[in-house]
Structure formats: structure tokens, C-alpha cells
Amino acid sequence: MSKRSLFGLLALAALASYAAGIGLKPGLWEVKIVKQVVDGRDMTAQLAASAEKMQQMMANMTPEQRARMQAMMPNGGAGLGDNGNFRICVSPEFAKRDQPVIDKEGRCQPATVKHEGSVTSYEFSCSYNGTTRQGKGETVAGGDSITNRVDMTTTQSSGQTRTFHNETEMHYLGPDCGDVKPLEVPK
């Protein structure tokens, strides 16, 4: 799997985890991919191995090389932690949202959102640039931890269909985001 493909899958996993209105506090959060299935193929071990390899490579880089590698990460709001997990910085504005974020550009908003105690469930169906996304997810908040499950089908204008199942855990690290830029509120 190429680095670009890895970043794409990890970015998808992280974006699906950005659910607010469920206890998402401003500050630094670590996102751990628990399970990632693409087109019926479990990619969890492959993603973990790729993340570990990338972490080893970054440990051997100069600060300048690491900065260039970080610049290749999904633009804004994401960084790579020391253990290979993603770190995201949640701004106060972003934390005020009361619905999950399906894509960071704000082109795809959930059609339904239900809050029942610590559980938020949502469904979405949207199209843009010839691509259709349909799916559902569930987020459970518990103190400084949030778990998320998302099932999504993407159909491109060419007719190619891909299915994704993603499970993540988020853990609050504190109010200081360090050098991770805050997530921008989708328009």
C-alpha cells in the first residue's frame, strides 16, 4: 500500500470519528483505528504495520525531514503521535457542533442524527463531484473517551463501488494541542 493510500484510509478513519455534541472537548485528542475493513478485506493489521513502519522512519529523520512528512498529512487538524496513532486538535468552535462530520469540507452532512444518552447515531447520503456516499454510524461517549463505528458505501461516477467499515477510539490528551493545527469547522 502506498503512503498516499495509507494517508487516505487513515484520513477517512479520522474524519469519520469527528463527532461533536457528544462530549468532544476542545484540545488534543488521539485517534486509534481499532478496525478498518475496505471492500470486505480487513486492513487493520496492514494499517498498523504501515503506521509502525512510518513511525520508525520518522524517528530516524532530521527535524526538517519530519516537518516535511507532517506537511504530507491530511491538511489541518491532524498529526501523528509517538505511537503511530493520529492526533487531532479540536477548536472550541469545532467542539460546539452538534452533529458528526462526514467530510471536512462540509459537503456531506448527516441526514439524521439521534442523541440518546451517551450514544449518538447518524445516517448520511450525499453526492458531489460524481461521487455518492451512503452510510450510518454510531458514536458512544464516556468521559475522556469516544468510540465510533461507521459503515459507508462510496460509488464513483465510473460506477466503481467501495465499502468501508471503520471502528475508532478517541482519547482526550488535554487542552494544549502543541504543534497540531486545530480542525476547521466545515462550511
pLDDT tens string 67-85: 776 666 554 555 656 666 7
What is the rounded average pLDDT for all residues in the chain?
77
DSSP SS3 for 161: strand
Residue 182 in contact with residue 90, Cβ under 8 Å? yes
Q: What does the radius of gyration of the chain's CA atoms come to, in whole angstroms? A: 16
Please tell me the least confidently modeled range out of 5-14, 95-104, 151-160. Answer: 5-14
Report the distance separating Cα 177 and Cα 169, nearest Å.
18
The reply to whether 179 falls in a domain is no
Instruction: Look at the chain and report how many structural domains it folds into.
Output: 1
The reply to whether 144 falls in a domain is yes
DSSP state of 98: -
The reply to whether 181 falls in a domain is no
Q: Quick one: cell of 79?
A: 498529526
The reply to whether 123 falls in a domain is yes
Domain holding 83, by residue range, is 3-174
Of residues 76 and 64, more confidence is placed in: 64
pTM of the predicted model as reported, rounded to 2 decimal places: 0.73
Report the distance separating Cα 187 and Cα 179, nearest Å.
24
**Greatest distance between any 2 Cα atoms in the chain:** 48
The reply to whether 136 falls in a domain is yes
